[in-house]
Amino acid sequence: MARYVLGRIGQAVLVLWAAYTLTFAILYLLPSDPMELQLAAAGVQPDSLSAEQVAAIKHQFGLDQPIWLQYWHHLAGLLRGDFGTSLTQQVPVSQLLADRIGPTLLLSVSAATVALVLGSALAYLATFTRLTFLTRLPALGASFPQFFVALFLIQFFSFQLGWFPATGGLVMPVITIAVLASSVLAQVLIRSFEETLSQPYVTTARAKGLSRSAVHLRHAFRNAALPAMTILGVIVGLTVTSSIVVETVFTREGIGKLAQEAVLSQDVPVVLAVVTVAAAVFVLVNLVVDLLYPLLDPRISHTRPAAASVASVEGVAL
Amino acid sequence: MSLVDIRNLDVSYGRQPAVVGLDLTVGQGEVVAVVGESGSGKTTTANALIGLLPTNGRITAGSAVVDGVETAGARERTLRALRGRVVGLIPQDPMVGLNPTKRIGAQVAEAVRLRGAPSSETLTFLEQAGVPDPEMRSRQYPHELSGGLRQRVLIAIALAGKPKLIIADEPTSALDVTVQKRILDHLEGLVREQGISLLIITHDLAVATDRADRVVVMRHGRKVEEGTPESLLVTPGSPYTRRLIAAAAPPTDFLSFLPTIHPQPPRDGADTTPPASDKTEYPQAVGSAAPGEISDSEKPILVLAGVSKTFAIRDPRRGHRGFNALDNVDVEVPRGGTHALVGESGCGKTTTLRIALGLETATNGSIELAGTEIRGLSWNRMRPLRRKAQLVHQDPFATLDPKFTVRQSITEPLVSFRVGDRRTRETRARELLDQVALPHAYLDRRPRELSGGQRQRVAIARALALEPDLIMLDEPVSALDVLVQEQILTLLADLQARLGLSYLFVSHDLSVVARIAHTVSVMSAGRVVEQGPVAEVFGNPRSDYTRELIEAIPGRRIHAA
């Protein structure tokens, strides 16, 4: 068991490192001059500086070092919790993140929870009632672009009904994200339910004399939910990436909006930090799912008794 | 009055009729068997009785009364009252018949509680079904149990509702022959003792005639014939039943047909001499199509000498240790002949085959294929040798790429070994289809457009493509209906005679082995317990294990008739 956990954690760290390195490579290959951006932000014309002054500034920010050394310094800083300094706002990136993470965290957690409840309920009902209308609903929900859903909600609930404020509220952003996330979840779950319901053990359960609702709840649900669990990471990841569009449309001061601004102004350290944080969340959720899985599925056990492992080897030998 | 009274029943899937005008009764305490090949409507009939037809299945006419209740057109509530408490079902495949995420005790307890009894009765039923140490077992999950034990748990579930009728759907097809026998003996004892009626659904005439008071033969959704096992076997009314009897005859009857290196009459004479009429009446029996004598002089195509295989097992409590899958196995496949490996699951027969194919490395011993030692050969050195030995796999549904046409499947080996060009490959593909007796028009079909037997023919054609000397057949007919089995075995014998092929034939089915093989190795727990010409080994078994295997083969009554 300990071996399994350590292996999974090791994998998670590796993925995180790879995501960081890839982002670093892409951002530093972009044809932009970070120094120019910084000077522009400070209101200085780059042309007005002498060559010596330029070199001095480059040296101060470590921009005269070879790329791999910059990468190394950046990575070492990251391990200390130092994301560098924003090029455009002249404040530490970690401080920017700390200021902005609250609203996004609230948004993501709420949206993921709503999506989980809504998506599971829809899949359960659709497969139990066998109404084709319900089974097709998720495909519809997944095909609306988020900015469209957001604008529709603003138009209808804010401008026409006046129920929610167009900016700053939590309800409409959560709904916007949950529409897509719950649809994705429901699509996977419905598939999984249909697969499960065609299994012979469901016939066994029905032949015992159990009612359809008992079979659905006690036999089908758990077996259908297990394979669908693997997309929980995707769902949470989706709520994080959705925050870019949603926070922009609803003007919420969160990480998503920060990312959008940073990309527009080519603020490389900020973009790098946001991507790293998002990747960390994604990796963490997947890690938790991987670690929970053996606890929920009796077939996957990492402390097998001797008899079971002999049986499995025989299974391989057959 | 009969417990089950089916009259003029029609069942359809969509517009496709599955059962047509069926009459069937099961009396109180009676054991009735319905026999037929896949698509005969036997399982549909059973499902219709308890209202568990697939969603597109419907009873379109007739009536099916169970314990005085009409089930045709009945509401779910009525049917649910029948399920479990009046009719218990033992489903087809015990490996997948239990919920994998629920402890078995809980799964039996559900059936107990539905009857309003306390869950504590669970252990009684597990014990009745022959589950040893029920208290410990009830806390286990299905994957921790062997196939035989899972079958017993399913029997316990069926018993737990205290039904008047138990339907056993193919109770034997997924298990080893000795396990089958023990479980069926046990089930038969239980129902006779408790006065429960039993409806056995099976493709195996031998099982049906051994177990039932009355046998119903079905084909294409209709009843072909009905009668006591004795009357059916002695005076079969239809040609179809006669063919089934011929195909189900136990191996001892075939010993006299067997082409063997050392032809020697088996000793228990009376039992093994077939009625003379059989020979003339059923010339399609494979034995007669098999090749003649094999010369002793030539070197065997495949020689395994002293082969052992140890799989490493990580055991958290006792550290690393080995599991001996094979222990000092010697096997020879004669040129132009067939050597069979028989034994129960886990005996190491498939591991032997995988080692002979170079897919698995032996821990010890030597493997000589066509005079070349292959143990320890690198992938590149092994590759040219792969042309000499090809594989035909057990499951014809999984062995062909569903996206490939028949042409693509059978020319793939030619493409991968760069044999010929487009045109010669096309010619070869047609030649191969001729050899396996499929029309050329099938070249453009995909696997889903083929029946199981046709798929297996395509798999054989693919194995023949590179003109190998040796074909390894891993349970090549065990997924097929009896009569289709017969056709494939005939084809294999015929190909061997014409092309001089050698076969290494892996099977758990002794009657199939008796038909096709010249020599046989009986394996148990990774060792060869007995070896020799088929007639000697099966006719006069020296080891207790072989004797047990032979005695477990169903078909006592066919044999006696």
- pLDDT tens-digit map of B357-375: 888 889 999 999 988 898 8
Q: How far apart are CA A247 and CA A243, in angstroms?
A: 5
Q: For B19, which DSSP code?
A: E
Q: What DSSP element (H or E) covers A39?
A: helix A34-42
Q: What is the pLDDT of residue B262?
A: 32
Chain B hits for A297, CB-CB cut-off 8 Å, are 101
pLDDT at B271 exceeding the cut of 60: no
Nearest C-alpha of chain A: how many angstroms from B552? Answer: 21
| Residues composing chain A | 318
Q: What is the pLDDT of residue B257?
A: 42
Q: What is the pLDDT of residue A187?
A: 94
Q: How far apart are CA A158 and CA A151, in angstroms?
A: 10
Cα end-to-end span (Å), chain A = 27
Q: What is the pLDDT of residue B30?
A: 94
B156-183 burial, b if ≥16 CB within 10 A, otherwise e?
bbbbbbbbbbbbbbbbbebbbbbbbbbb
The tokens for B507 are 């099977």
Residues A105, A163, single domain; the answer is yes
pLDDT at B559 exceeding the cut of 90: no
pLDDT at B267 exceeding the cut of 50: no
Residues A41, A152, single domain; the answer is no
Tell me whether strands B302-315 and B527-533 are parallel, antiparallel or unpaired: unpaired
Residues A194, A252, single domain; the answer is yes
Within a domain: A27: yes
Q: Is A261 exposed, middle or buried (0-12, 13-18, 19+ CB in 10 A)?
A: middle
3-state DSSP assignment of residue A80 = coil
- How does pLDDT run across B113-159, given as a tens digit for each residue? 999 889 899 999 999 888 888 998 999 999 888 888 899 999 999 99
* A295 touching B (Cβ < 8 Å): no
Nearest C-alpha of chain A: how many angstroms from B160? Answer: 9
Task: Choose the final residue of a domain: A79, A114, A139.
Answer: A79
Mean pLDDT throughout B296-310? 85
The tokens for B327 are 């222990």
CATH code, A151: 1.10.3720.10
Verify whether the Cβ–Cβ distance A203 to B101 is below 8 Å: no
pLDDT tier at A311 (50, 70, 90 boundaries)?
very low
Residues A99, A162, single domain; the answer is yes
Q: Residue B76: CB partners within 8 Å, gap ≥ 6?
A: A212, B51
Nearest CA in chain B to A221: B101
Q: Nearest-CA neighbor of B198 among B87, B69, B98, B124?
A: B87
3-state DSSP assignment of residue A212 = helix
Q: How far apart are CA B468 and CA B432, in angstroms?
A: 13
Chain A hits for B82, CB-CB cut-off 8 Å, are 209
**Strand order of the sheet with strand B165-169?**
B87-90, B165-169, B197-202, B31-35, B214-219, B222-227
Residues A102, A228, single domain; the answer is yes
The runs of H, that is alpha helices, within B261-405 are 269-272, 276-281, 286-289, 349-356, 379-386
On whether the CB atoms of residues B103 and B139 are closer than 8 A, the answer is yes
pLDDT at B87 exceeding the cut of 80: yes
Q: Nearest-CA neighbor of B326 among B352, B296, B365, B292?
A: B352
pLDDT tier at B60 (50, 70, 90 boundaries)?
very high
Residues A287, A193, single domain; the answer is yes
pLDDT at B223 exceeding the cut of 50: yes
Q: How far apart are CA A214 and CA A209, in angstroms?
A: 10
Residues A32, A105, single domain; the answer is no
Verify whether the Cβ–Cβ distance A318 to B346 is below 8 Å: yes
Q: What DSSP element (H or E) covers B89?
A: strand B87-90
pLDDT at B509 exceeding the cut of 80: yes
Verify whether the Cβ–Cβ distance B83 to A208 is below 8 Å: yes
* A81 touching B (Cβ < 8 Å): no
pLDDT at B269 exceeding the cut of 80: no
Q: What is the pLDDT of residue B249?
A: 64
Q: What DSSP element (H or E) covers B155?
A: helix B147-160
Mean pLDDT throughout B324-338? 91
pLDDT tier at A57 (50, 70, 90 boundaries)?
confident
- How does pLDDT run across A133-161, given as a tens digit for each residue? 898 899 888 888 888 888 888 888 888 88
On whether the CB atoms of residues B197 and B165 are closer than 8 A, the answer is yes
Find the range with the poorest average confidence among A69-83, A297-311, B505-519, B538-552.
A297-311
pLDDT tier at B499 (50, 70, 90 boundaries)?
very high
Amino acid at B193: E
The tokens for A168 are 């700053």
pLDDT tier at B228 (50, 70, 90 boundaries)?
very high
Within a domain: A19: yes
* A301 touching B (Cβ < 8 Å): no
> From the candidates A135, A196, A201, A304, which should be mutated to test the interface with B, based on the most B CB atoms within 10 A?
A201
Residues A243, A204, single domain; the answer is yes
Count interface pairs A-B at CB distance under 8 A: 109
Q: Nearest-CA neighbor of B98 among B133, B149, B55, B51?
A: B149
Within a domain: A85: no
Chain A hits for B325, CB-CB cut-off 8 Å, are 313-314, 317
Residues A244, A115, single domain; the answer is yes
Q: What DSSP element (H or E) covers B66?
A: strand B57-66
Residues A286, A180, single domain; the answer is yes
Q: How far apart are CA B80 and CA B60, in angstroms?
A: 20
pLDDT at A255 exceeding the cut of 70: yes
Nearest C-alpha of chain B: how many angstroms from A281? Answer: 30
Mean pLDDT throughout A87-103? 86
Mean pLDDT throughout B2-17? 91
Q: What is the pLDDT of residue A119?
A: 94
* A201 touching B (Cβ < 8 Å): yes
**Where in chain B are the domains?**
400-467
Find the range with the poorest average confidence among B88-102, B177-191, B267-281.
B267-281
Find the range with the poorest average confidence among A55-64, B30-39, B106-115.
A55-64
Mean pLDDT throughout B373-389? 88
Verify whether the Cβ–Cβ distance B110 to A210 is below 8 Å: yes
Nearest C-alpha of chain A: how many angstroms from B499? Answer: 30
Residues A65, A169, single domain; the answer is no
Q: What is the pLDDT of residue B286?
A: 43
Q: What is the pLDDT of residue B289?
A: 37
pLDDT tier at B288 (50, 70, 90 boundaries)?
very low
pLDDT tier at A46 (50, 70, 90 boundaries)?
low
Higher pLDDT: B412 or B299? It is: B412
Structurally, how many domains does chain A consist of?
2
Task: Choose the final residue of a domain: A12, A47, A79.
Answer: A79
Q: What percent of chain B has pLDDT over 90?
A: 51
Q: Torsions phi, psi of B16, nearest 5?
A: -80, 115
Mean pLDDT throughout A84-91? 80
Higher pLDDT: A189 or B272? It is: A189
Chain B hits for A127, CB-CB cut-off 8 Å, are none
Instruction: Name which of A205, A209, A313 is nearest B161 (Cβ-Cβ).
Output: A209
Within a domain: A317: no
- Strand-pairing partners, residue B216, are B34, B226
pLDDT tier at A292 (50, 70, 90 boundaries)?
confident
Residues A140, A102, single domain; the answer is yes
Q: What is the pLDDT of residue B171?
A: 81
The tokens for A97 are 């993140």
Expressed as residue numbers, the domain containing A43 is 2-79
Q: For A219, which DSSP code?
A: I
Q: Torsions phi, psi of B500, nearest 5?
A: 65, 30
CA dihedral (B51, B56, B58, B64) in degrees, to 10, reads -30
Q: How far apart are CA B251 and CA B261, in angstroms?
A: 18
